Structure 1
Amino acid sequence: MESIIIAQMAVSGAFMGLVYALIAYGFQLTYATSKSINFGQGELVMVSAFFSLTLINVGLPYWLVVPGGLLFGAVLGLFVERAGVRLALEQKSEGWILLTIIIGLFGFSAAENIWGRDDRPFPTPIPSESFQVFGVSITPLEISVAIGVLAVMGLIELFKRKTLLGKAFEAVSADRDAAELMGVSATRTIMLSYGLSGMVAAMAGILVSPITTVGPTMASALILKAFAVAVVAGLDSGFGVVLIGLFLGALESLASFYIGSGWREAPGLILLILALAVRPNGVFGKASIRKV
């Protein structure tokens, strides 16, 4: 019986870990092209979830809500790039760190004033009744999370490898200066990466909201864990974030069950500290070579 409980907690946590992986993937997209990340990514998840909930409340069908929410997230990502990142990168400064944090705080305040401070349920046509797989209960909502995460990441990776815009993305990721010499616009490519990152954040919000509800504080609960996944996996590791996300989600669920819910955040913090101390490039990251 105890083994079934352990398996149940691990599986349920692993599905949530996929959401962390998706948000972490958004960090990777922007870091690849500009060596910058959006520290307000959690607020993009939250605001996009609220916007998608608004579309549902005005009567739009779910099959229109999802693309509408993704488009809104992409627009938010482009706004972050233009308002908080571009000038700092042109000046070769680290000002984007503070600016993305400020934009995130603005998004939090806007959400509280527009939608209120209370958590709200997120209606979905996906049934929530569970079914048994080898004694472990799994819900269609959890399956939808796995399908959505893997589908979005797979489509973006396919886009990067099979389209001209995607190849420009890969070129700037490999060597920005060489790409510009070949006629690739680094500025437009960075815009693309932030747009994709915002879309990924919106997808994460749409997937997780039916499970956790939508509220202004949902960003803080997700962003630290997603950042831990990105750093532990490596900011250039591709699908390595999926493995680390699964592991962290299962680990925090087990820690919450055996030690107490107050320790739920501990595994992510411990993994983050260990990664920074022992392997700063991440478990799946490539070692950086500096010329002297």
Structure 2
Amino acid sequence: MDLRIIGQMAVSGALMGLVYALIAYGFQLTYATSRSLNFGQGELVMVSAFVALTFTDLGLPYGLMVPCALLFGALAGLAVERAAVRLALQQKSEGWIMLTIILGLFLLSASENLWGRDDRPFPTPIPSEAIRVLGIEVTPLELSVAVGALAVMGLIELFKRATLQGKAFEAVSADPEAAELMGISSRRTVMLSYGFSGAVAALAGILVSPITTVGPTMGAVLVLKAFSVAVVAGLDSGFGVVVVGMALGALESLASFYLGSGWREAPGLVLLITTLAARPYGLFGRAIIRKV
């Protein structure tokens, strides 16, 4: 067994796994403030990628297209919070589950009517020629995934720790009722978390599209793996989703290479089932002890 091949497959898979980690981080952002998830997050990734592609087709430079697509993703996230989550949270119901799923299905149907059902290439100025680093070949596209994913997660974490609004984010995450008594608006903080989550979804779409393609079904596969990463890592550990996302990507790549493409999904399922059986709160999560 060639160790160089193992290293090559593991590195390529781990870099792709950072896309799963980025989408999983979006799940964490909304869960922290509202204990809710956007189950249409995959469709948000897909629609944002199509919007970014449309901006590119209209001649918008790449450096301007990216912030415009991120703004669209943030606005879409705010729309999800307003249309599907806010009322359910006010009524203390779980209606946001079905409503976010329905919104996702609506976005899927709308994208098929607007852009068609065929997959389309995503042009990018980032070169695709492989470069060799320590005997392992990586492409600038793969490196851009790592830089973009880690940079945006780092910036959001810095915002949460170094700004007053970020402190409010942490306060609502710890105890919403106590935060309200201190004059912090939980509703505004939940809106912010959904805005961040939408921007993160848009960035994931921009990063992965040049490697794969843009199509109506692209988000479905990504979000299932991202959800597995979020659950396995724990819904309160940003560091955990990075580690688990890279590990899952590497395992998928190795399984596909040595066992066949039909086994590509097996590592994620095994990891998810094993973690839920042994540590339901995640590998990096913390068990919550409630006094009754």
Partner of 1:282: 282
Q: Equivalents in 2 of 1:7, 1:25: separation in Å?
A: 26
Determine the C-alpha separation between the residues in 2 that align with 1:198 and 1:274.
Answer: 30
**Match in the other structure for 2:129:** 129
SS at match of 2:132: strand
Corresponding residue SS for 2:204: helix
Shift in Å at residue 189 of structure 1?
0.4
Distance 2:269 2:34 in 1: 26
Which residue number corresponds to residue 269 of structure 1?
269
- Other-structure match for 2:9: 9
Distance in 2 separating the partners of 1:31 and 1:249: 23
Determine the C-alpha separation between the residues in 1 that align with 2:6 and 2:257.
Answer: 9
What's the counterpart of residue 180 of structure 1? Answer: 180
What SS does the aligned partner of 1:98 have?
helix
* Aligned counterparts, 1:1-292, within 5 A: 2-292=2-292
Partner Cα distance (1:83, 1:262) in 2: 39
Deviation of 1:134 after TM superposition, in Å, equals 2.3
What is the aligned length? 292
Name the CA distance, whole Å, in 2 between partners of 1:206 and 1:227: 19
CA offsets, 1:18-48, max 9 Å, x none?
A: 0000000000000000000101101110000
How far off its partner does 1:4 sit?
1.2
Q: What is the distance in 1 between the residues matched to 2:272 and 2:77?
A: 25
CA-to-aligned-CA distance 1:31-66 (integer Å, 9 cap, x gap): 000000101101110000000000000000000100
- Summarize deviations over 1:251-291 as a string: whole Å, max 9, x none: 01111111111111111111111122111110000111011
CA distances 1:199-238 after superposition (whole Å, capped 9, x unpaired): 0000000000000111011011101100000000000012
Distance 2:137 2:214 in 1: 24
Q: CA deviation at 1:67?
A: 0.2
Within 2, Cα distance between the matches of 1:263 and 1:106? Answer: 31
CA distance in 2, matches of 1:222, 1:191: 24
Secondary structure of the 1:132 match is strand
How big is the alpha-carbon RMSD for the aligned residues of Structure 1 and Structure 2?
0.8
Structure 2 CA distance, aligned partners of 1:173 and 1:88? 18
Percent of aligned pairs with the same residue? 77
TM-score between both structures, scaled by the size of structure 1: 0.99
- Residue 17 of structure 1: how far off its partner (Å): 0.2
Give unpaired runs (5+ residues) of structure 2: none
2: CA distance, partners of 1:38 / 1:263: 28
- Tell me which stretches of 4 or more aligned residues in structure 1 moved more than 2 Å: none
- Output the amino acid matched with 2:242: V
Q: For residue 47 of structure 1, what is the amino acid of its counterpart?
A: V
SS in 2 for 1:239: helix
Deviations 1:58-116 (A, max 9, x none): 00000010000000000110011011111111111111111111111111111111000
5+ long unaligned stretches in structure 1: none
* DSSP 3-state at the match of 1:42: helix
> Partners of 2:3 and 2:89 in 1: how far apart?
51
Deviation at 1:163, TM superposition (A): 1.0
